């Protein structure tokens, strides 16, 4: 999914979510020729009836008002805050991004595409009645809601952004048809300070919300160990009709806003695992979204180009040199020097939680166990390996 106008989602100079990250990602995808391997589609903007699948009309109306008159934003509905300053065209740009995720969901549900990627989406903090954490409309929740409306019986959402996928969790808190799994830095050290393992869903939807709260400083091996200790077993038990994944790139060690220490190589491996899991447990139906990521030159374009390559069935080899034309474009637009290769030079392995045994004194294993104890029984699974 791509429409150049998504770069109008711009909170202004100095804001970490610089839309150059989206443009540079698309240019890198093009410089590898991946855009010729897939259908590049621009979906329509999400209209009010679509936005209302998740959002309140009074909130949509408020976004429209500040979009027309940004100076009038006073912080109500989370609009006009430091994180979410109002800007001209805010409604249009946000609805366009939301429309790309909804369009991705529709294409996958209707069988027009087996996999669809909207790396401009994944705006997982937006709430039904308010903006939050750089997110205006929750395109991820809208994609899931649209899948349910089209007839999906069960949808699984896996969010590996460094921040808790709180808005998506909130949207489906009471809905047992949606399994939300979020792996993120621990709420005691990072926005939005939610995503504790004990958050497991409302009565009637017990175990439908899953949270893995990773200690600050977790690196590749720990991140991969946690992903594989929680996600595959739950997806196998839940048997979703569609898998929706959110690939925020802000887990990276260079990211300026968070404190995990994950490499591009581990991010690519998790994208490959999501792809494989969609085939194993969701008939191959896979909607992949972007998310956070504030190392806008070094990290975001490379990790989402890998994501698109994986979804396209033409994975970019990690050792590939980054094309010179793209490096020139980076310099022209940012005056920064671009990374030279599609790898951080790591080949991370991980010890399997079930096979290797666990260490009750290890903080990562404690986090994994807390999550498994909180939700595995609700899915008929044993928390201890």
- The verdict on 248 binding Zn ion (CB under 5 A) reads yes
Q: Give least dist CB 292 to Zn ion, A.
A: 2
- The verdict on 159 binding Zn ion (CB under 5 A) reads no
**From the list 27, 91, 146, 163, which residue makes contact with Zn ion (rule: CB under 5 A)?**
163
Q: Give least dist CB 370 to Zn ion, A.
A: 21
Residue 115 annotated to the active site: no
Q: Give least dist CB 339 to Zn ion, A.
A: 21
Between 46 and 162, whose beta carbon lies closer to Zn ion?
162
Burial label, 43 (beta-carbon count in 10 A; 0-12, 13-18, 19+): buried
Between 160 and 297, whose beta carbon lies closer to Zn ion?
160
Between 300 and 316, whose beta carbon lies closer to Zn ion?
300
Task: Please confirm whether the linkage preceding 178 is cis (ω < 30° from 0).
Answer: no
- The verdict on 184 binding Zn ion (CB under 5 A) reads no
**Sign of the CA dihedral 115, 116, 122, 128?**
negative
Lay out the sheet containing 286-289: strands in order across.
Answer: 115-118, 286-289, 242-246, 155-159, 178-185, 209-214
Q: Give least dist CB 296 to Zn ion, A.
A: 13
Q: How far apart are CA 369 and CA 248, in angstroms?
A: 24
**Sign of the CA dihedral 119, 165, 79, 84?**
negative
Q: Give least dist CB 348 to Zn ion, A.
A: 21
Contact segment (CB under 5 A) with Zn ion among 71-79, 157-165, 208-216, 271-279 equals 157-165
- The b-or-e profile of 101-138 (16+ CB within 10 A means b, else e) is bbbbbbbbbeeebebbbbbbbbbbbbbeebbbbbbbbb
Considering only CA atoms, give the Rg of the chain: 19
**From the list 250, 255, 265, 344, which residue makes contact with Zn ion (rule: CB under 5 A)?**
250
Between 83 and 233, whose beta carbon lies closer to Zn ion?
83
**Sign of the CA dihedral 293, 295, 299, 304?**
positive
Contact segment (CB under 5 A) with Zn ion among 147-155, 169-177, 201-209, 248-256 equals 248-256
- The verdict on 318 binding Zn ion (CB under 5 A) reads no
Q: How does DSSP classify residue 247?
A: -
Q: Give least dist CB 111 to Zn ion, A.
A: 32
- Identify each DSSP E strand in the chain by its residue range: 115-118, 155-159, 178-185, 209-214, 242-246, 286-289
C-alpha 346, offset from chain centre:
23
Q: Which of 125, 184, 186, 247 is catalytic?
A: 125
Between 18 and 161, whose beta carbon lies closer to Zn ion?
161
Contact segment (CB under 5 A) with Zn ion among 102-110, 155-163, 206-214, 326-334 equals 155-163
Between 108 and 127, whose beta carbon lies closer to Zn ion?
127
- The verdict on 292 binding Zn ion (CB under 5 A) reads yes
3-state SS, 358-369, equals CCCCCHHHHHHH
Contact segment (CB under 5 A) with Zn ion among 34-42, 115-123, 246-254, 265-273 equals 246-254
Binding residues for Zn ion, rule: CB under 5 A, are 161, 163, 248, 250, 292
């Amino acid at each position: 999914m791509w429409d150049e106008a998504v770069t109008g989602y711009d909170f202004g100079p100095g804001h970490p979510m610089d839309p150059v990250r989206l443009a540079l990602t698309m240019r890198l995808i093009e410089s590898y020729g991946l855009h010729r391997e897939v259908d590049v589609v621009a979906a329509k903007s999400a209209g009010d009836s679509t936005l209302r699948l998740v959002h309140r009309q009074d909130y949509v109306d408020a976004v429209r008002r500040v979009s027309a008159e940004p100076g009038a934003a006073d912080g109500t509905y989370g609009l006009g805050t430091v994180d979410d300053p109002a800007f001209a065209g805010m409604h249009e740009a946000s609805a366009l991004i939301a429309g790309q995720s909804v369009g991705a969901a529709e294409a996958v549900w209707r069988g027009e595409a087996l996999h669809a990627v909207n790396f401009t989406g994944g705006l997982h903090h937006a709430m039904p009645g308010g903006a939050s954490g750089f997110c205006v409309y929750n395109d991820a929740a809208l994609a899931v809601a649209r899948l349910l409306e089209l007839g999906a019986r069960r949808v699984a959402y896996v969010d590996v952004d460094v921040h808790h996928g709180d808005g998506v969790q909130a949207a489906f808190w009471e809905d047992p048809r949606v399994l939300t799994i979020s792996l993120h830095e621990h709420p005691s050290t990072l926005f939005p300070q939610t995503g504790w393992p004990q958050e497991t869903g409302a009565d009637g939807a017990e175990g439908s919300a899953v949270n893995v709260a990773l200690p600050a400083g977790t690196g590749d091996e720990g991140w991969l160990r946690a992903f594989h200790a929680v996600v595959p077993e739950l997806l196998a038990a839940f048997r979703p009709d569609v898998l929706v994944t959110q690939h925020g790139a802000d887990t990276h060690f260079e990211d300026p806003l968070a404190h995990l220490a994950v490499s591009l190589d581990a991010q690519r491996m998790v994208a490959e695992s999501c792809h494989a899991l969609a085939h194993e447990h969701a008939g191959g139906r896979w909607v992949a979204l972007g998310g956070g990521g504030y190392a806008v030159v070094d990290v975001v374009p490379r990790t989402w180009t890998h994501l698109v390559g994986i979804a396209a069935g033409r994975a970019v080899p990690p050792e590939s040199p980054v094309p010179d034309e793209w490096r020139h474009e980076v310099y022209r637009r940012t005056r920064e020097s671009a990374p030279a290769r599609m790898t951080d030079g790591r080949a991370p392995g991980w010890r399997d939680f079930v096979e290797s045994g666990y260490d009750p004194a290890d903080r990562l294993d404690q986090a994994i166990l807390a999550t498994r104890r909180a939700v595995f029984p609700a899915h008929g699974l044993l928390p201890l390996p």
